[in-house]
Homo-oligomer: A and B are copies of this chain.
Amino acid sequence: MAYFDAASAAPLHPVARQALLASLDEGWADPARLYREGRKARLLLDAAREAVAEAVGCRADEVVFTSSGTRAVHSGVSGVLAGRRRVGRHLIVSSVEHSSVLHSAEAHEAAGGTVTRVPVDRSGAVDPSVYAAALREDTALACLQSANHEVGTVQPVAEVAEACRAAGVPLLVDAAQSLGWGPVAGDWSLLAASAHKWGGPSGVGLLVVRKGVRFAPQGPADERESGRAPGFENIPAIVAAAASLRAVRAEADAEAVRLRGLTDRIRARVPELVPDVEVVGEPERRLPGIVTFSCLYVDGEALLHELDREGFSVSSGSSCTSSTLTPSHVLRAMGVLSEGNVRVSLPPGTVSEEVDAFLEVLPRVVAGVREKLGAPSAAVVRQDDALVLDALGKLCPLPVIELAKVIGEVPVGGTVRVLADDAAARQDIPAWCEMRGQEYLGEEPAEQGTAYVVRRTG
């Protein structure tokens, strides 16, 4: 049994647990009150703020404790957009941000603002020069994650921050995935993070707003947390968050080396052990604990289910519409296969034997799911000298499975038109072509669904 989904939530660090327990008795009162219990609570809150500021590399009065990382992002984005409204209403985000950033961008568009979504390369990284080119006269705010939550790719934050600084545009960095590993380099203006990602408790997010950033908190007024995070402060959890951040940082360098060794092994071994698999994300500039791969001809939900039965907890950004999973906008933006997607994110302390066991189980599980999906017969017709594969009504991953079966019947240089009405085909057929060295010619509207045209090159 192994929990390999630290990028969603890390188990509570022992130091967080101790700090939480210790402060339940000292930190429950209202820190705004003048009496003894209130002063004790205030001391704990102030000490936690100092500790977090030191770990982030900022001033204590720049740190606001929110109730989650999502709230930190929502408040940070809306506060700067309102504070800099005179400058303009243009917002820049990368196309692989966390949903909290992308949903903030959608809300901004719904309110009449404009948004540029900076694309990423096949590894999931933005190009700093492409990002810089998106900066405009009327840009109120730019957002970039420190590292991607689905594939682990580290973003060029320092370079982008420099371009933003030169343009006079504040950069908000979503550091949720990386803050436990170290401070964010570069001259950023705002930072958001979430304690439960580094082994702190649920219920604590961080919003850091550098002095000098124009910021107008949105929503009803509230005097807590410099007016930037309404509601009674959750001091025991805040104390636990601060204590565990210090603790994980003390172990971070050694643990990073160790986990990187384990994820390197997964990156190398999975393609050797499992046929038709693509490891995605930047191989070098990446977080230590995350490795992501996609398996052709597999339904992501079935794969998670079977891995769970074998005792492994992983997540998936599979776009298979036959499952209840949320399709991954990250994998789509990268243009890589999302079919049968698995994200392994190792919590600190993961031992080598757990990774060995996973690598032993994985090939059998993938083979089993593939076998269960079977080999449904496709209606293949020849039409004007081109093969037509009718996969209408078939859900991901079946269209790709059928394509793989008929490609051998296509003469080299000839084409096959895959008719499909499952939206996932739009992403997975081109990704399959890329993996198999076949040529993807594009899509055309068909009488029903869409025709995806593939030329056999070998």
Name the one of B9, B20, B308 contacting A29, with C-beta atoms under 8 angstroms: B9
Complex A-B, nearest 9 residue pairs according to Cβ-Cβ distance, in ascending order? A68-B231, A67-B67, A203-B234, A35-B313, A103-B220, A70-B231, A202-B234, A203-B203, A107-B220
Instruction: Point out the residues of chain B lying under 8 angstroms from A54, CB to CB.
Output: none
Q: How large is the interface on A (under 10, 10 to 19, 20 to 34, 35 or more residues)?
A: 35 or more
A86 at the interface (CB under 8 A from B): no
Name the one of B30, B104, B205, B230 contacting A71, with C-beta atoms under 8 angstroms: B230
Are B28 and A12 in contact, CB atoms less than 8 angstroms apart?
yes
Instruction: Point out the residues of chain B lying under 8 angstroms from A224, CB to CB.
Output: 70
Are A301 and B34 in contact, CB atoms less than 8 angstroms apart?
yes
Are B34 and A232 in contact, CB atoms less than 8 angstroms apart?
no
Residue of B nearest to A219 (CB): B74
Kindly state the separation between the CA atoms of A233 and B79 in the bound complex, as whole angstroms: 23
Known contacts A74-B219, A106-B220, A202-B237, A69 near B231 by CB under 8 Å = yes
7 more CB-based (< 8 A) A-B contacts, given A35-B313, A74-B219, A203-B237: A5-B37, A11-B29, A35-B314, A67-B203, A106-B221, A107-B221, A201-B236
Are A100 and B220 in contact, CB atoms less than 8 angstroms apart?
yes
Q: Which of A67, A78, A219, A230 has the most CB of B within 10 A?
A: A67
Are A103 and B203 in contact, CB atoms less than 8 angstroms apart?
no
Are A34 and B219 in contact, CB atoms less than 8 angstroms apart?
no
Instruction: Point out the residues of chain B lying under 8 angstroms from A28, CB to CB.
Output: 9-12, 196, 201-202
Are B308 and A3 in contact, CB atoms less than 8 angstroms apart?
no
Kindly state the separation between the CA atoms of A407 and B68 in the bound complex, as whole angstroms: 58
Interface residues of A in 1-37 (CB under 8 A from B): 1, 3, 5, 8-12, 17, 20-21, 24-25, 28-30, 33-37
Instruction: Point out the residues of chain B lying under 8 angstroms from A77, CB to CB.
Output: 220
Are A222 and B100 in contact, CB atoms less than 8 angstroms apart?
yes
Instruction: Point out the residues of chain B lying under 8 angstroms from A231, CB to CB.
Output: 67-71, 205
Instruction: Point out the residues of chain B lying under 8 angstroms from A233, CB to CB.
Output: 202
